[in-house]
Amino acid sequence: METINFKTSINISSAGGGCAMRLGDIDGDGRMELIMIKPEAVSDKRYFSHKAAALTAISADGELLWQLGNTEGDETYTDFDLPVQIYDIDKDGKNEVIAVMGGELLIIDGKTAEIKKQIALPDKNIGGSVTIADLEGSGYAQNIILKNKFSHLWALDANLNVLWDFEGNIGHAPVVYDINGDGREEIIAGYNVLSATGELLWKADMPHHAHSVCVECLYKPDEPVILICGPSIRAYTASGELLWELSEQAGNIVIGKFRDNIKEPDILILDNLSLFDSRGGFLYQKNETIYLPTPVTGFDTSGKTYIAGHKKEDICTTLYDGYMRACYTLPTFGNIACGDLLGDGNTQILIYNDETVDIYSAAQTDLTTAARPYPRQQPKQYYNVSLHNTLPLSQLSQGYVVDDFASQNILKWADTYSTLNRYNSFAKVSRSEFVLLLASLLNLKEEFSENFADVPKESTFYEAVGTFKKLGILKSEDNLFLPEQPITVAYANEILDKLSIPVAFNFNEKYEISKQDMARLIQSLNSAS
Ligand SMILES: [Ca+2]
Ligand SMILES: [Ca+2]
Ligand SMILES: [Ca+2]
């Protein structure tokens, strides 16, 4: 077992102690910041959910950026959820902090901490969670779901008006997923499966209440299976047919390919590190109780997923591999979070207590600079954070490798798409995507005052295209860039030539460049530099 000592310690005592953590790029510099959430005290945790008492924003290298609320209370974060997320809810390219605080729902500018929008809560007992969903089928999630402890939830539109509400046995934080493929996300709230308009589609007939919910296409693509964990674990089809039941209690499960060379993903009960196959068949159990287990992907270059956790009264954090073998020791004890703080595809593990966060990397890392100077979009695993629900590993955007050019690690993206026969490797690259990828790869960013008439300010490629225009790389007589048009070899080579890049596409000039071609160009530029 290896001990990891690449560690940066930052002081978080100004946040007030007893905090939970969220990660996200709130100031648009390409690095994730830390938002520490101080919980507000409640009279009885069994019946009332928590609101945020204070929020403290701290940079990855420890600078206090801003603070809202009162940090002095005694309440500490333990086994409950908190209603705070980081997400670009108004779709202007910059992340907000969305928080239930002091009787209001607040939309806070991530950079300045200015309140952009606020509403009085539809009910004074709302708290515990904030879930972001695409209920209207726009393709971009802008709905917010709020709830009280266990019985009532509210769905809001993009202007924070209540669309509908629902009463039932709704368990902990809801999970949203488009289970029927119509473009709108359904809501699994405890035992209830709700349509995007709030109708009850079906209900699991189980006692007590649900802890963890997980949706994953376990057997076939496009056929999601819904796993609901209450006193037992049940797997249902999207239409509510019971597939199997496992008599295990679980507060949190995670689905993924933890073992090598398996076809269907396994189901890991995080509470006691026991692993089951995709039909609920027992595989093995770690015969130790592990506290605060958290799955970690992209920590080192092995491609393995680790589970970070503590043994009882241990002073260290251990990383277990998919066979629950101890692989690394991180010499710190505390709450665990993880994230690709710099946007370079490498995940850091953050272990924190009331005073300090220790940030571990697998290799020496400079936390003061982002891999790319562009705002980072929040993927789902960071905008719907909850204590009980963990996204299946296949749905994680590790290192931001999503099919969205604005929010990913370029080299990892290239790595994926340069492989033959990858799904949609042969899709065309648009002009805007080409410019965005190159600007990111070359770290180009200039101040500019004008852009092309057909490049919208809120677009992900606005800064990259503006930079290229300012540098004289892009020119057009009618002030149009035609951002969505597929990029031809001729046009691409012209841009590469102006950038003095000797590597160019050696194809027919009219050929339209595919993702795979682009991926290979990026790789060759990277190895040449
Ligand atoms: Ca940042
Ligand atoms: Ca925004
Ligand atoms: Ca749907």
The pLDDT, as a whole number, for residue 401 is: 35
Q: Kindly give the distance from the C-alpha atom of residue 180 to the centroid of ligand 3, in angstroms, as a whole number.
A: 5
267 - beta bridge partners? Answer: 255, 276
Pairing mode of beta strands 326-330, 2-3 = parallel
Closest to 526 in 3D by CA, of 456, 458, 442: 442
pLDDT tier at 489 (50, 70, 90 boundaries)?
A: confident
**Ligand nearest 177 Cα, by number?**
3
The pLDDT, as a whole number, for residue 148 is: 96
pLDDT digits (tens, 9 = 90+) for 258-267: 998 899 999 9
pLDDT tier at 437 (50, 70, 90 boundaries)?
A: confident
**Ligand nearest 193 Cα, by number?**
3
* Residue pointed to by tokens 């003061």: 368
Q: Kindly give the distance from the C-alpha atom of residue 239 to the centroid of ligand 3, in angstroms, as a whole number.
A: 11
Q: Kindly give the distance from the C-alpha atom of residue 28 to the centroid of ligand 1, in angstroms, as a whole number.
A: 5
User: Taking the complete model, does pTM exceed 0.85, yes or no?
Assistant: no
Q: Kindly give the distance from the C-alpha atom of residue 19 to the centroid of ligand 2, in angstroms, as a whole number.
A: 25
pLDDT tier at 290 (50, 70, 90 boundaries)?
A: confident
Q: What are phi and psi of 215, to 5 degrees?
A: -120, 125
Q: What are phi and psi of 404, to 5 degrees?
A: -150, 110
Instruction: Classify residue 507 as exposed, middle or buried by CB count within 10 Å of its CB (0-12, 13-18, 19+).
Output: middle
Instruction: Out of 136-140, 339-343, 479-483, 500-504, give the one with best mean pLDDT.
Output: 479-483
Q: Is the pLDDT confidence value at 283 over 90?
A: yes
pLDDT tier at 416 (50, 70, 90 boundaries)?
A: low
Q: Kindly give the distance from the C-alpha atom of residue 92 to the centroid of ligand 2, in angstroms, as a whole number.
A: 4
**Ligand nearest 176 Cα, by number?**
3
pLDDT tier at 124 (50, 70, 90 boundaries)?
A: very high
The residues whose Cβ lies within 5 A of ligand 3, an ion, are 178, 180, 182, 184
Which range (103-117, 205-219, 391-405) has the least confidence?
391-405
The pLDDT, as a whole number, for residue 399 is: 37
**Ligand nearest 88 Cα, by number?**
2
- Mean pLDDT in residue range 311-325: 88
Here the tokens at position 47 are 């019946």
Q: What are phi and psi of 417, to 5 degrees?
A: -85, -10
Alpha-carbon distance 396 to 487, whole Å? Answer: 30
Instruction: Out of 389-398, 441-450, 506-515, give the one with best mean pLDDT.
Output: 441-450
pLDDT digits (tens, 9 = 90+) for 331-381: 999 999 999 898 777 899 999 999 999 999 998 899 998 876 667 778 889
Alpha-carbon distance 160 to 118, whole Å? Answer: 8
Q: Kindly give the distance from the C-alpha atom of residue 184 to the centroid of ligand 3, in angstroms, as a whole number.
A: 4
Q: Kindly give the distance from the C-alpha atom of residue 93 to the centroid of ligand 2, in angstroms, as a whole number.
A: 5
Considering the chain, what percentage of its residues have pLDDT values greater than 70? 94
183 Rama class: left (phi>0) / alpha (psi -120 to 50) / beta: left
pLDDT tier at 495 (50, 70, 90 boundaries)?
A: very high
**Ligand nearest 60 Cα, by number?**
1
The pLDDT, as a whole number, for residue 374 is: 66
- Whether residue 382 contacts residue 24, with contact meaning beta carbons closer than 8 Å, is answered with yes
